[in-house]
């Protein structure tokens, strides 16, 4: 990387960052963006990650684990002497971001749409002086995005509820990346009129009888077969489908694999 000097960039929450050199020591508190950084060729620059940064699988054995996405070890982070910390508006709390700002610049992303994802990748190219790599990734993603839109065109719209948590039961509403990908897949979100991740009463699910599928995500709550059986007693004849939560909620380079996964999912439905 070229050692650019005195450049400024604005992150997704409007914070102006001024750098006197390209950040070299990176801590990522966002699993999907950790994966992206590696795919951009920046693995050697990563000094700290969360316990949830599971891709690539061997990374957790090479890098310092500084906590999770909602609770971090500030002393450990400070000792790693990062040049920049990567956070996400949804994944990390405002308290974490504000505290980390006393250590070094904190770059915060906010990904709701596929277009936001393209912008984030481009921003990383400018931030870490790897524009060629980010352009290549955005080209691959754009081609796959276009191909998937051709694939999905003409497929009927199905109404779904996408569960992310149990006790209490929580689903994906609108204003998040999951809802964006549901819409892209011609899945009408039954809870799109509610924001973010509302709690719901299972007994009131599918009261109109118009729900086609219940999607049980693999993360953050790992739904099991018993959960599907319990739901089907209430939502019958709605079919419960286990889905890969990473494919529906991880942004960054993971989206390339997600398009192939979505094709396979539609073939199984």
Name the residue ranges covered by the structural domains of the chain: 7-144, 154-268
Give the pLDDT of residue 28: 98
The per-residue b/e assignment along 141-159, b for 16 or more CB within 10 angstroms, e otherwise, is beebbeebeeeeeeeeeee
**Residues whose CB falls within 8 Å of the CB of residue 182, separated by 6 or more in sequence, listed in order:** 160, 162, 172, 188, 189, 248
What's the rounded mean pLDDT across residues 178-192? 97
Provide the pLDDT for residue 243.
98
Dist CA 6 CA 112 (whole Å): 30
Is the N-terminal amide bond of 99 cis, ω within 30° of 0?
A: no
Per-residue pLDDT averaged across 232-253, rounded?
91
> Which pLDDT does position 209 carry in this prediction?
81
How high is the mean pLDDT of the chain?
A: 95
**pLDDT value of position 129:** 97
Share of residues in the chain with pLDDT > 90 (%) = 90
For 147, 148, 160, 161, the CA distances from 238, given in Å and listed in that order, are 30, 26, 9, 10
How many angstroms separate the CA atoms of 229 and 141, rounded?
Answer: 37
Contact 133, 36 (CB under 8 A): no
Q: Which residues contact 244 (CB under 8 A, 6 or more apart)?
A: 217, 218, 261
Mean pLDDT of 118-123: 98
Q: Given a cut of 70, is residue 15 above it in pLDDT?
A: yes
Confidence of residue 203 (pLDDT cuts 50, 70, 90): confident
Cβ neighbours around 264 below 10 Å, total: 10
Asked whether residue 206 carries a pLDDT value surpassing 90, the answer given is no
Tens digit of each residue's pLDDT (9 = 90 or more) over 154-174 = 999 999 999 999 999 999 999
Give CATH for domain 154-268. 3.40.50.1980
| Structure-block tokens of residue 53 | 């940064």
Per the structure block, which two tokens stand in for 205? 């699910």
pLDDT over 60 at 235, yes or no? yes
Share of the chain above pLDDT 70, in %: 98
Asked if the domains at 7-144 and 154-268 fall in one CATH topology, the answer is yes
Confidence at 3, pLDDT banded by 50, 70, 90? low
Q: Average of pLDDT values for 92-108?
A: 98
**What is the pLDDT, as a whole number, of residue 38?**
98
Looking at residue 25, its pLDDT comes to: 98
In this prediction, residue 6 carries a pLDDT of 85
Neighbouring residues of 92: CB distance < 8 A, sequence distance ≥ 6: 29, 30, 69, 70, 108
Domain 7-144 has CATH 3.40.50.1980: yes
pLDDT of residue 4: 60
**pTM of the prediction?**
0.95
Residues 6+ apart with CB under 8 A from 131: 125
Q: How confident is the model at residue 196 (pLDDT cuts 50, 70, 90)?
A: very high
């Amino acid at each position: 990387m070229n050692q650019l000097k005195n450049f400024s960039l604005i992150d997704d929450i409007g914070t102006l960052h001024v750098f006197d050199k390209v950040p070299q020591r990176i801590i990522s508190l966002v699993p999907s963006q950790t994966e992206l950084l590696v795919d951009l060729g920046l693995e050697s620059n990563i000094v700290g990650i969360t316990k949830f940064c599971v891709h690539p699988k061997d990374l957790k054995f090479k890098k310092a684990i500084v906590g999770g996405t909602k609770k971090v070890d500030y002393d450990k982070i400070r000792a790693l002497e990062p040049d920049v910390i990567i956070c996400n508006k949804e994944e990390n709390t405002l308290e974490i971001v504000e505290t980390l700002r006393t250590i070094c610049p904190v770059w915060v992303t906010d990904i709701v749409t596929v277009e936001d994802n393209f912008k984030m990748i481009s921003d990383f190219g400018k931030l870490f002086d790897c524009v060629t790599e980010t352009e290549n990734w955005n080209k691959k993603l754009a081609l796959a995005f276009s191909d998937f839109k051709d694939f999905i065109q003409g497929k009927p719209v199905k109404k779904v509820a996408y569960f992310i948590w149990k006790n209490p039961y929580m689903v994906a509403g609108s204003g998040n990346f999951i809802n964006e990908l549901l819409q892209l897949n011609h899945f009408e979100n039954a809870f799109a009129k509610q924001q973010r991740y509302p709690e719901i009463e299972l007994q009131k699910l599918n009261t109109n009888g118009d729900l086609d599928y219940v999607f049980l995500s693999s993360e953050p709550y790992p739904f099991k077969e018993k959960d599907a059986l319990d739901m089907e007693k209430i939502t019958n004849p709605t079919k419960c489908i286990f889905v890969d939560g990473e494919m529906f909620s991880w942004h960054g380079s993971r989206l390339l694999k997600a398009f192939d996964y979505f094709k396979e999912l539609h073939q199984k439905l």
